[in-house]
Structure 1
């Protein structure tokens, strides 16, 4: 979501530059470190040591809170982060903003995955096949990322499109390779509640290699979220039971093949809400209606904001680490925050 619901109540951000300070350049990196020719951006971080405000509890069901960071950037375009991929064992990341920019950087972390700082942040505009920026083409409402070998996929909510880019994004000047062919009912999703979540079904799944996309809500039923299995042989549909006005914002597969879905709610009555649900991999099939397991629910009493991005990696001990990232809509009244959890199997 690009924050249109928020913008009725929130003012654009203009003061983040006050907090900016120069961080170290990227460490001598790994093979896939992206955006080498991107624009450097000054970012400062503030530690988030507790998840539930006023309590030092670190265990939340099957999740253990490892820590978090608030990101304070000198460039407004760093706001609006809506898609995320963890790289190099969680020590680097690639994100996408809802105004059509790549953002990359490195994360200083402990061995278990607690984030300590962010450095070497760079940004670059997403380019179309013709070399023009997506913003110039009005195709820039980019919301989610999914990486499959040498292919990087990006959803665009306003156009209800899925773009394909080459991986790695070595310079940040790589052009779009093309668009995924989508069925008409995906193209006709409402422009502000279209494709929000995207993941690649893993090897061993009954739908292995397919793009798993979830719309923010549903075109015709407020009680479900519309899901799509987009493969080489066509597109199948499934549904996810919707509860309490929560909308889908991102998805990612776990190493064991289960699917995680991030959900977000914003109302004047309830303010911000976050949910995280887990679905068995074998349940993702045509015509299925999914309920899933509730892993986490948080409201304004927790250190959350407009949580829109999810990435999964394993730490040095082989533990599964979840990274959540918020979209601040470039608003002075919201925050860009990065949260880390360990999933206890």
Structure 2
């Protein structure tokens, strides 16, 4: 019986370890631990309005930002992002079918100071082959739900489902979300650009909100979809001033925040953030909302495509914005952070 106390101690240790694992938030784990590491440096952005020291922009306070300079171009083209661990980590998806994970160095207020431990891995299908192997890699948006990670692919008009937490870059796709026929009929390069998981405790819980990138003109509304295992419903979003929708995220209070981008020879470059009441997102609704931010080439912006929302330890709502440089030497990958004050 001398071995019994040792056995008891072993079992107790295993149970304690299990309890520790269960009680540890999943974002304390290392994402893409086996991903390919990339050397990275950053160039700070001190002010958002170029040449002006102001930090207040309506209900938003600019906390800071930086340009990301990575040694591997595969980490460019950032198109969707989620912010984790109180803003200390991010997980992004690129428009050429790669996961990108990194640590965000920040102050206690959430102001970003730099980026480290950058790594990437290709998104894999259910068969273990890369999405590039089947031309399903035009991935544009990323959202996290209780049931897992969801990634939209624009040209294929598909939404891919992955398990959470994403600890390995070798994780295979679990499957695809059933898509309605009218969504599949969208033009190939103007599909689902914004994707957000319905907030828990709301009428949208368990559903995905998907919004198309653009429409033929400002006279045409943007197409929106409420996707659920039971059925799919449609709504629409008013389009203004030739702006396209590039991402969406729900705020802690249940309202939806849209990121919008404009880039053409007439208007040049632009960024807008629009807030829409979450309770208004219903089948058949025509949605609009209030603009929280309107920025043009006089501000530190580029091709803004990715948006994430998190709350810090103080309970502040923090917005993280990323730009897609299209892996071009003429564009920049930017990370910007704002605090939403209401």
| TM-score normalised according to structure 1 size | 0.90
Misfit runs of 4+, over 6 Å: none
The DSSP-based 3-state class of the residue aligned with 1:66 is strand
> What displacement does 1:149 show?
2.2
Q: Output the CA distance in 1 between the equivalents of 2:299 and 2:218.
A: 30
Of 230-239 and 98-107, deviating more is 230-239
**Structure 1 residues without counterparts, runs of 5 or longer:** 1-28
Which residue does the alignment assign to 1:157? Answer: 154
Partner of 1:20: none
Please name the residue that 2:232 is paired with: 235
| Cα distance between partner residues in 2 of 1:236 and 1:266 | 30
| Counterpart-to-counterpart distance in 2, 1:152 and 1:288 | 27
Aligned to 1:261: 258
2:168 corresponds to:
171
Could you say what the CA RMSD is over the residues aligned between the two structures, in angstroms? 1.3
**1:145 counterpart (133, 142, 165):** 142
Unaligned regions of 5+ residues in structure 2, if any?
A: 1-25
TM-aligned CA deviation for residue 31 of structure 1: 3.5
Comparing both structures, which one devotes a greater share of its residues to helix? 2
Q: Deviations over 1:157-182 (max 9, x none)?
A: 01010000011111110000000000
Distance in 2, matches of 1:146 and 1:299, equals 27
Q: Report the Cα distance in structure 2 between the residues aligned to 1:101 and 1:310, rounded to whole angstroms.
A: 17
Q: Is the 2:218–2:239 Cα contact (8 Å) retained in structure 1?
A: no
Q: Distance in 2 between matches of 1:265 and 1:125?
A: 29
Residue in structure 1 matched with residue 16 of structure 2 by the alignment? none
- Post-superposition offset of 1:205: 1.8
In structure 2, C-alpha distance between the alignment counterparts of 1:190 and 1:310, rounded to whole Å: 24
Q: Check conservation: 1:145, 1:154, Cα contact below 8 A.
A: yes
- What is the distance in 2 between the residues matched to 1:30 and 1:177? 20
1:74-98 superposed Cα distances (whole Å, 9 cap, x missing partner):
1111110000000111000000000
Structure with the larger RCO, 1 or 2 (CA within 8 Å, 6+ apart):
1
Q: 1:313 aligns with which of 310, 314, 322?
A: 310
Larger radius of gyration between Structure 1 and Structure 2: 2
Q: CA deviation at 1:204?
A: 2.5
| Matching of residues 1-345 of structure 1 within 5 Å | 30-218=27-215, 222-345=219-342
The answer on whether the counterparts of 1:189 and 1:219 sit within 8 Å (CA) in structure 2 is no
Provide the secondary structure at the position in 1 that maps to 2:260.
Answer: strand
- Give the Cα separation in 1 of the matches to 2:231 and 2:216: 20
Aligned residues of 2:50 and 2:299 also touching (Cα < 8 A): yes
Question: Number of paired residues?
Answer: 317
